[in-house]
Structure 1
Amino acid sequence: MTLWVFLRLWSLLWHLGLPVVLLYLVWRGRKDALYGRHLAERFGRYRQRLPGSVWVHAVSLGEMRSAVPLIRALLDRGETVVTTHFTPAGRREAERAFPAEIAAGRMAAVWVPFETSWAYAGFFRAFRPRAGLVMEIEIWPRMIFAARKSAVPLFMCNAQYPTKSMIRDARFTLRHKLMQNYAGAFVKSDLQARRFASVGVPNIAVTGELRFDQPVPAHLLGAAERVRPLLAEGRPVVTFASAVEGEDELYLDAIIAALGHPSRPFVVYVPRKPERFDDVARLVARRGLAAIRRSESLDATLAPKTPAFPLWEGGALSGSGPDLLLGDSLGEMYFYIALADRVVTGGGFTPYGAHNIIEPLALKRPVIVGPEIHTIEYPAVEAIAAGVCLRVETPEALSEALTGWPGPPPEAIESFFAAHAGATARTLAALDRALTRR
C-alpha cells in the first residue's frame, strides 16, 4: 500500500469513526468528567492564541512528566509553550506543574485535535508553533503531515524504538515511511540512534533521557520522612509503583508470601490509573490483607488523620495495624517511593512492558522489574548491568527478591544517576541546531 492510499483510507476511517470516538469519550467521562470537557478543542477550535510557541505533544501522564524539565527550560529562556494531550492525566499534570505560566498566558494545555486535516488546521491557526516535539514515540499520520503542510518542523523527542516495535514494523514498513516524514529525532541512546537511522529517520541527535532531569518535590520527601515511622516502625518497606491491570493477583501473591518472612515488610501499593483505585481496594480486601487507603488515612498535606481514622492512635498506628497502604492519589509518586527501601515498578509482568524506573533511582532506591522491559530498554539495560536494578523473570523470583535481594549501596545508584543526567540541555541544543539548519 502506498503512503498516499493509506492516508486517504486513514482519513476515511477517522471520519466514519468519529461518532464511535465521541461515544468512547462520553463513556470514559463517566469515571473522569474531564474527558467530556473542552470538546471543541478536539475539533480544532481553541480559545487561546499563542503564535510562535513551541508545541509539546505529551499524550498522557508519563509523557508529560518526562517533558516537565524541558518545558521549564523553554519557559525560562523566554519561549511560550503549548502542550497537547489525549488523556485527562496528561492535561492535569501540565496544569499542576505550570499553573502560574498558564495563568500568565505564557503556556496553554489543550487537547490534541482529532486525526483529521481540518482539526489540525484549526490547531495550527490558533498556535502557529515554530516547532513541535512529540514525546516518546507517537506515530499519528495526520499530525505528521498536517505539520509538514503548515511548515512546522516536527521532531520525535526523548525517543526510543523498542525491540518489539522494530520486529513488528519490519513486517509492515508503513510506520517507517511515516517516521521518515518527521523533521528529526532526539533520542535516548546511541543504540536508539542506530535503530532510528536504520529505518531512514533524518536528523538524529543523541540527547539522553529527560526523566533524569525531573525535579523532585521536596515537600513529598519531607512528608514521607514524617509518616514512615508511623506506618512501619522497624519494618522494611516495599513500594509497588504503577501496578497495572493484569498484575494485581501476581503481586498480591508475592506480598502475602513476603509477609510470612521474619522481616514482615510493610507494602505501599500504587495502581497505575485512578479508575482502578476502588477495584484494587476491593481485591486487596478479598485477599484478607489489612490495609488502609491514603485518601482515608492522610489529609491533603499527607499528615495522619488522627481523630478521623480508627487505626491511628495518638499519632501512631496501633500494634495490630495494617500491612499495606493503598496509594489512591495522583501526583504523589515521590511520596510513595520515598517511603520505601526498594521499589517494584509495574508493567513488567504484562506484554505492555515495564514503567519508568528513574523516579526510584532519583531517590537512591533500588528497583525490581519484571521480564518485559522493552518499553524502558534505556535505561533499564544499563541499570541492570550496573546492579542498581534487578530483573526477575518469574513470580517466584519476585517473591524471593522482595525479602532476599540486598540491593546496591546508595552511592552506586547516585553514581549511575549522575552519569545519565543532562538530557534537557542536550535537547535544547539539538533543537536549536535543527532549527538553525532549516
Structure 2
Amino acid sequence: MRSWSAPDVPALPGDGVPLTLHDTAADRVLPVDTGMVTDAGEVGVYVCGITPYDSTHLGHAATYVAFDLVVRQLLDNGHGVHYVQNITDVDDPLFERADRDGVDWRELGTGQIDLFRSDMEALSVLPPRDYVGAMESVDEVVRMVERLLAVGAAYRLDDEFPDVYVDHTFTAQFGYESRYDAETMSRFFAEGGGDPERPGKRHPMDALVWRAHREGEPAWESPFGPGRPGWHVECSAIATNRLGATFAVQGGGSDLRFPHHEFSAAHAEAAHGVDRMAGHYVHAGMIGLDGTKMSKSLGNLVFVSRLTADGHDPAAVRLGLYEDHYRSDRDWSAEVLERAEQRLERWRRAVAAAGQRPASEVDGLVREVRGALADDLDTPAALALIDAWSRDVTDVTAAADVTAADGPDSPETPDDSAGDRVRTLCASLLGVAL
C-alpha cells in the first residue's frame, strides 16, 4: 500500500544522544537496543496502524507523532531505521460502520486511508517504509497460521465454523509484555474483541488467528478453508516478515497493551521459537477532551483535518501534543491549542532575532534538547529549554535596541547562522517548522 510523502529532515550538526524509552514489559526506562537489527543492519520499528473507519483524531495523532519522534532520534544517532506500519483495512469495526452508513466497506476504508495520509503529511510525520494493509498481507498470515498449526500452538474448532485459535499457554512467557494478572487479562480480553464464551476453545482466552467464512463477509482461500485473518496475527506476520523474528521497538497506544500487543508477541514467539519479539514495547497515552476521554462512542473527537481546515498551523498541533509527556493520559482543549500557537509564534520571533546570539549558546541548546528527547522523549523539558532560549533572545534583542538608541556602542559580533541552527533543530528533532 502506498505510504505518504516524507517531510524534509535536515541534518543536525553534532552528535546525537543514545535513545532511552520506557519498556512496558520491564516497567522502566531502558536504552533502546540498537544492536537488534534487521538483516540489512537497520533498527526495526513496528507501530500498529489504524482501522480506517473514522477520520484521524488527536488520539491517533498523539500516537504517531510520538513514534515519529522515536524514528527521528534514531536517525539523529546515525542509525538506519526500517519503520513498518500496518493498516487494518478488513475488520469488524469497519464492516459495522459501513453498514451503519450504508456504504461499501472498501469505499469507506479507502476514503479514510486517504485522509489519514493527508493528515500525516500535514503533521510532518515520517512515513513508514512499509505501509501494509491487512488485505495485501493475507498470504503472509496464512503462512504464519500454517506454522502455528505445525508447531502445535494452534488448533481448529470442529464445528460449523472451523475457526483457528492459538493456545495462549503455548509460550511460557505469555503475560510478560503487559504484566497484568489473570483477572485483568481476562477482563481486557473480553473488552478488546476477544470471545471468551466461544464453545469448543481449549481456554476462554485463546485468540482467533483465522476466522472461517461467514455469509456476507469477505473471504480468502487457505489450506484450512476460506476466511480472513484475526487481528493480532496480522501484526505478527507483517512485522516479523519485514523486521525479523526479533526487532527493537513495538509501539502503539496504551489501549493496545493488552490484548493486542500481548497476543501479537505471543503468536510471533510461538511461530518463530523466540523468547521475546521486541526489545521494547512502547505505549503512548490516551487523549481526552476538556477532561473527558476522547472516544468514538462519546462523539467527542477532535479531528486533525478539521483543525487544519480551520486555519490552525499543524506545527502548533504538534507543540500542543508535546506539552505533556507522550506516556501520560492528557487533555486537549482550546486552551492547549492557544498556548501552543503562542509558543510557536514566540519561537518564530526569537529565531528571526537570533542573529544576535553567539553560536556557542545555540550549540548548548542543541545538546540539551537532544538530551531531553533521548530521555524517554521528554518533550516538556525540550519545550522548556527552547522557551528559555527564546526569552533570552527576546530580552537581549530588547536591550540591544535600547543600547542602540542610547549611543553608538557596538553589540557583540552577531552569528548570522544562529537562527538557522534553531530552525534545523526544531525541524529535525521535533518535526516543527519555524
TM-score range, shorter chain: under 0.3
* TM-score, structure 1 as length reference: 0.25
What TM-score, normalized by structure 2, do the two folds share? 0.26
Structure ranking higher on relative contact order (CA contacts 8 Å, 6+ apart) = 2
